[in-house]
Chain A
Amino acid sequence: MRNLLVFFSKYNAFFLFLLFEILSLVIYINYNSFQKASFINSSNEITGNIYTRINEFYSYLSLKEVNDSLATENARLRNKLKSSFYVDTIAKHKVNDTVFKQQYEYIVARVVNNSINKVNNYITINKGSKYGIKKGLGVICSSGIVGKVVNVSEDFSIVQSLLHKDSQFSAMLADNKEIGYIEWGDDLDPKKAVLKEVSNNALPKLGESVVTSGYSLFPAGIPIGKIINLHTKTGGYALNMEVALSVEFSKLQYVNVVVNKLADKQMGLEAQQKKNE
C-alpha cells in the first residue's frame, strides 16, 4: 500500500495529465453532437454579451460597405414595387387576391461573432428564441445563403455556416434547373464551394449561376455563386463542379433568418407517408 502511494506521488505529473486529458477529451467528443455541451459556447450570456459589445465597435469600421449593400438592395426591391409599373388598360376593378399567401417570413439579425478559418465554422447572431427563431431554420443575407441555425438561447442563436464540414444544401443550376447539392470544398477556402451530384445530362457552362432549389430550408432562387471550374478531381458517376461563393463570409454584418410557414405541414405529410410505407 505504501509502495503504491510512493509510486503515485513519484509520477504524479503523469496521472494528473491523464486525468485532465481524459476530462477534456470527453468534453471534446461529446461536442461532436454539438448540443450536448452547449453551455461552453458563444450563445451563453457572458461570452455572448462581450461579443455584442466588441461587435458594436467593429461595425463602425464597415459602415460604408453595409450602407452600400443596403442601398443596392433597396433599389432592387423598389424595382419590384407595384408603383414602379404603369397600368396600360383603362378598366380597373378591385380583386381580393387569395392566390398569394405569405409562405416565407424573414427575421433580420446582426452577426456578433463569425469565423472563417477553422474546419467547422459557426456564426453567432443577436436574435434568439424570444424573436421566434428555432433550431433548423435557414439563414441568408442579401447576397446569398449563409447556413442554418443549430442552437438557440433566449437572446442569441448559433448558425452553422456553409463553411462547415457537415453543411450540405440542395442547389440547382439557374439556367437548366438541374439539381445537385452544395458543400464546402476540401481546401477550406472561404470563397469556394463544390456543387456535387449533378446529373450527367446537364450541360453546365463556366460563369453560370448556381441558386437554391427550394427543396431545402430556403425559397427557390436564392443565389449561391457562379461556376468557376467544371473539372474537379473528386468526380464519381455524376458531375462535380467548383463554385465561387457570392457571399463574402469574412464581411458578414446583417443576415435574415428564413421561417418557412408551411414547413410543419410538409414535414407532417412526409412523416405520415413514411409511416404508411
Chain B
Amino acid sequence: MNRALIINVLRFFLLIFLQVFLLKNITVYNLSVPYFYILFILLLPFETNNFVLFLLSFLIGITIDAFYDSPGLHASSCVLLAFVRIIFINLTVHKEGFDNEPEPSLSLMGIRWFFTYVLVLTFAHHFILFTLESFSFSKLPYTLSRLFFSWIFTVFLILLSGFLFFRSKDRK
C-alpha cells in the first residue's frame, strides 16, 4: 500500500514535469500534440476510492492548466476521463482476481485489454479537450484532424512507456 502511494506521488510530479517542459514544445505539423500526463490517471490502482480518483484527476488537470494558461480546460477533460475509466473497469474487470498487484498496467493486464483501455480513455479525454478548446463548429474539420492525430500520438507514447517498464514476473 505504502509502496503504491510513493510510486504514484513520484509519477504525478514526473509526468507533470515531462508534459510541461518537454512535450509542451512538441508538435507535429501543428496537428499532433501529445498529452502524455493522463497516464497518471490510467495507472491509478483498481481499488482507488471513487472520490479520491476524481479528486486526483481534477488536481492533475488543474496543475497542467496552471502551466498551460487554460484554467478548467484540462481539469474538465481529466474528470471525464476518470468517469469513463470507472465505467470501463466495471464492465471489463472482475476486481477479485487482482488482490496483490492491483494496477491496470500493461504487464499485468496483457496487451489486448490494455490497448483497448488506452484507446477508449484517451479518446474520451482528447475529445472533450479539443471540442472545449475550439468551442465552435467553424473549424470542425481542422479540430477533428487535430483530435485524431493527437490521439494516435498519445496512445503511441503510452504504449511505448508500457513496454519500457514491462515486468514479466507480474504476468500470471
Residue of B nearest to A187 (CB): B142
State whether B65 touches A186 (Cβ < 8 A): no
A27 to B55, CA, bound (A): 15
State whether B83 touches A117 (Cβ < 8 A): no
A31 interfacial by beta-carbon distance below 8 Å: yes
A20 interfacial by beta-carbon distance below 8 Å: yes
Task: Determine chain B's interface SS by DSSP, over half rule.
Answer: helix
- Contact-residue bracket for chain A: 35 or more
A190 to B50, CA, bound (A): 41
Residues of the A chain whose Cβ atoms lie less than 8 Å from the Cβ of B24? 115
Q: Measured between C-beta atoms, what is the minimum distance from A173 to chain B in Å?
A: 27
The answer, among A14, A24, A117, A186, for a CB contact under 8 Å with B72, is A24
The answer, among A23, A29, A51, A124, for a CB contact under 8 Å with B58, is A23
The answer, among B54, B66, B72, B75, for a CB contact under 8 Å with A17, is B54
The proximity string for B residues 25-62 relative to A, scoring 1 for CB distances below 8 Å and 0 otherwise, is 00100100100000000000000001100110110011
Which residues of B (130-145) have their CB < 8 Å from a CB of A? 132-134, 138-139, 142
State whether B132 touches A28 (Cβ < 8 A): yes
A42 to B139, CA, bound (A): 28
Q: Measured between C-beta atoms, what is the minimum distance from B36 to chain A in Å?
A: 15
The answer, among B21, B73, B79, for a CB contact under 8 Å with A20, is B79
The answer, among A29, A158, A186, for a CB contact under 8 Å with B69, is A158
The answer, among A24, A47, A186, A190, for a CB contact under 8 Å with B79, is A24
The answer, among A27, A124, A158, for a CB contact under 8 Å with B71, is A27
Residues of the B chain whose Cβ atoms lie less than 8 Å from the Cβ of A189? 30
Q: Measured between C-beta atoms, what is the minimum distance from A32 to chain B in Å?
A: 9
Beyond A31-B71, A117-B33, A187-B142, is A16–B50 a contact (Cβ under 8 Å)? yes
State whether B72 touches A27 (Cβ < 8 A): yes
A21 to B76, CA, bound (A): 5
Residue of A nearest to B90 (CB): A13
Residues of the A chain whose Cβ atoms lie less than 8 Å from the Cβ of B83? 13-14, 17, 21
B70 interfacial by beta-carbon distance below 8 Å: yes
Residue of B nearest to A151 (CB): B69
A75 interfacial by beta-carbon distance below 8 Å: no
Beyond A21-B79, A54-B21, A119-B134, is A37–B72 a contact (Cβ under 8 Å)? yes
Q: Measured between C-beta atoms, what is the minimum distance from A67 to chain B in Å?
A: 22
The answer, among B27, B66, B76, for a CB contact under 8 Å with A24, is B76
The answer, among A40, A116, A187, for a CB contact under 8 Å with B65, is A40
A26 to B132, CA, bound (A): 13
The proximity string for A residues 111-125 relative to B, scoring 1 for CB distances below 8 Å and 0 otherwise, is 000011111101010
